[in-house]
């Protein structure tokens, strides 16, 4: 058992009163009163419908909400299960709330660590974590995240969502294909916000002395997925359907998003290079549970002209910095395409992948302050997104998927280039 000093005495007392459980579902919150009742009810329905005989608990680590979110979690209940299901709950669904924040006041690290510690103390066999601000969650999400662990002996379940073609740009253009090419596992959504995992994997995470590290606190999911791969745990994926957040869901500044997400990804590559550097086998597909289906999703809109202008201005203004990060050839090609007009404009896959790999290697070699280095990627990313939006404007789902696969294959093809740049002394 990992040290428990970050857990309050009251929280430990409540966990002890529950005893051992089969399934644990975690919902970290911070001022989510508007949606939390819907989320908690969907979780309870899912547990009763699909796991009526199991011992279950809902854990709610709260970051200090001032809108009464924890009170809603504690009082939320389904008055009459018989009106919703053909059966009634055979066991009590325990709900426990606690306040986190002793490890970090930003990031998600403390919430995740609290959930993992609870899973360890309660000896949970299968766990799931879901976002608190969802409008699209259904009881079926709980089965999709828990059953592959509880019944199929998987150790981690990552989600697959039905997205609009312009959603998930950072994941589709960098994070997912990098993990596929570098770590050798084809996983669609390594940072989805929803995860399922086994109790033994939860214990393994707790034993890692990384919970004070910024890269783990910033994007725990990326670290958890790559750590599970590197340690040889069995991964799978489950289709959840559309993911719709509440309208007031905060949208983070793209500069901060890139700094946090890619900073975590590149740091994971550093700390786990003993696993991925010598790897030579072709990437393997993580098994998929459930059936993908199409449904209406709200389109995401981009101001392509503004993206293109910011790309051009950024490349021009940051040239002295980019010279320290990118090879002369790569920077020259980026400068060349930055002179193209908005229409037609094309940022080739080959150049994009080479750019990302050179940024990763320069990050590894600390050629400059790492935050500044990641900031310098932002205008180039905007150029790439401007190109993708233009090219995919009239593309259907099949064409989008084909282009995504070609990009992933380009990341795989250039993997030796990353290894060369990564291991070469600057």
Tell me the pLDDT tens digit for each residue of 259-289.
999 999 999 999 999 999 999 999 999 999 9
Do residues 156 and 197 lie in contact, with contact meaning Cβ atoms separated by under 8 Å? Answer: yes
Strands 56-62, 23-26: pairing is: parallel
Domains, the chain, ordered by start? 9-289 (3.90.550.10), 304-423 (no CATH)
- For the cut 90, the answer to whether the pLDDT of residue 298 exceeds it is no
Across the range 191-208, mean pLDDT stands at 95
Q: Tell me how crowded residue 228 is: count the other CB atoms within 10 A of its CB.
A: 23
pLDDT of 105 reads 43
pLDDT, tens digit (0-9, with 9 covering 90-100), for 80-109: 455 555 555 667 899 999 998 644 444 578
**3 state DSSP class of 29:** strand
**pLDDT band (50, 70, 90) for residue 5:** low
Token pair for 152: 């199929």
Looking at residue 174, the DSSP 8-state letter turns out to be I
Look at residue 107 in the predicted model and tell me its pLDDT.
54
H or E element, residue 136: none
Please give the share of the chain, as a percent, with pLDDT higher than 90.
77
- pLDDT band (50, 70, 90) for residue 395: confident
Backbone angles phi, psi at 199, to 5 degrees: -65, -35
Q: What is the mean pLDDT of residues 228-239?
A: 98
Q: Do β-strands 185-186 and 156-162 pair in parallel, antiparallel, or remain unpaired? A: unpaired
Sheet (strand 56-62) strand order: 93-99, 56-62, 23-26, 126-129, 195-198, 156-162, 235-242, 288-289
Nearest 5°: CA angle at 255, between 265 and 237?
40
- Predicted confidence (pLDDT) at residue 292 exceeds the cutoff of 90: no
The residue length of the chain stands at 426
Q: What is the pLDDT of residues 30-82, one digit of tens each?
A: 999 999 999 999 999 999 999 999 999 999 999 999 999 999 999 987 654 55
Which secondary-structure segment (H or E) carries 241?
Answer: strand 235-242
Within 10 Å of residue 317's Cβ, how many Cβ atoms? 12
Given this model, what pLDDT does residue 32 score?
94
**Is pLDDT at 310 greater than 90 in this prediction?**
yes
Classify the phi-psi angles of 85: left when phi > 0, otherwise alpha if psi is within -120 to 50, otherwise beta: beta
């Amino acid at each position: 058992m990992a040290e428990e000093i970050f857990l309050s005495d009251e929280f430990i007392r409540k966990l002890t009163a529950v005893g051992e459980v089969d399934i644990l579902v975690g919902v970290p919150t911070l001022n989510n009163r508007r949606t939390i009742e819907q989320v908690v009810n969907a979780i309870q329905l899912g547990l009763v419908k699909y796991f009526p005989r199991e011992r279950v608990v809902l854990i709610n680590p709260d970051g200090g909400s001032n809108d009464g979110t924890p009170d809603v979690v504690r009082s939320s209940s389904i008055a009459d299960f018989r009106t919703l299901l053909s059966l009634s709950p055979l066991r009590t669904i325990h709900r426990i709330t606690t306040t986190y924040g002793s490890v970090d006041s930003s990031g998600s690290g403390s919430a995740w660590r609290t959930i993992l510690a609870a899973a360890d103390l309660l000896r949970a066999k299968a766990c799931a974590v879901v976002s608190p601000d969802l409008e699209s969650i259904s009881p079926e999400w709980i089965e999709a995240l828990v059953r592959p662990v509880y019944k199929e002996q998987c150790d981690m379940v990552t989600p697959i969502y039905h997205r609009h073609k312009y959603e998930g740009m950072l994941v589709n253009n960098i994070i997912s294909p990098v993990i596929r090419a570098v770590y050798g596992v084809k996983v669609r959504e390594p940072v989805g916000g929803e995860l399922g995992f086994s109790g033994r994997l939860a214990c393994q995470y707790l034993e890692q002395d990384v919970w004070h590290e910024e890269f783990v606190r910033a994007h725990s999911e990326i670290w958890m997925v790559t750590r599970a791969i590197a340690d040889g745990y069995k991964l799978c994926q489950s289709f959840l359907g559309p993911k719709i957040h509440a309208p007031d869901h905060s949208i983070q500044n793209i500069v901060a998003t890139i700094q946090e997400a890619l900073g975590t990804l590149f740091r994971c590559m550093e700390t786990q290079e003993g696993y991925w550097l010598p790897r030579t086998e072709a990437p393997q597909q993580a098994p998929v549970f459930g059936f993908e289906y199409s449904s209406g999703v709200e389109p995401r809109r981009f101001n392509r002209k503004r993206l293109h202008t910011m790309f051009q201005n950024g490349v021009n203004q940051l040239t002295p910095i980019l010279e320290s990060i990118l090879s002369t050839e790569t920077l020259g090609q980026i400068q060349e395409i930055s002179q193209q007009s908005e229409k037609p404009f094309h940022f080739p896959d080959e150049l994009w992948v080479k750019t990302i790999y050179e940024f990763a290697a320069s990050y590894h070699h600390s050629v400059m302050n790492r935050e500044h280095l990641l900031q310098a990627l932002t205008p180039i990313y905007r150029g790439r997104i401007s190109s993708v939006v233009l090219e995919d404007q009239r593309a259907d789902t099949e064409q989008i998927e084909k282009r995504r696969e070609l990009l992933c294959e380009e990341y795989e093809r250039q993997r030796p280039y990353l290894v060369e740049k990564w291991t070469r002394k600057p």
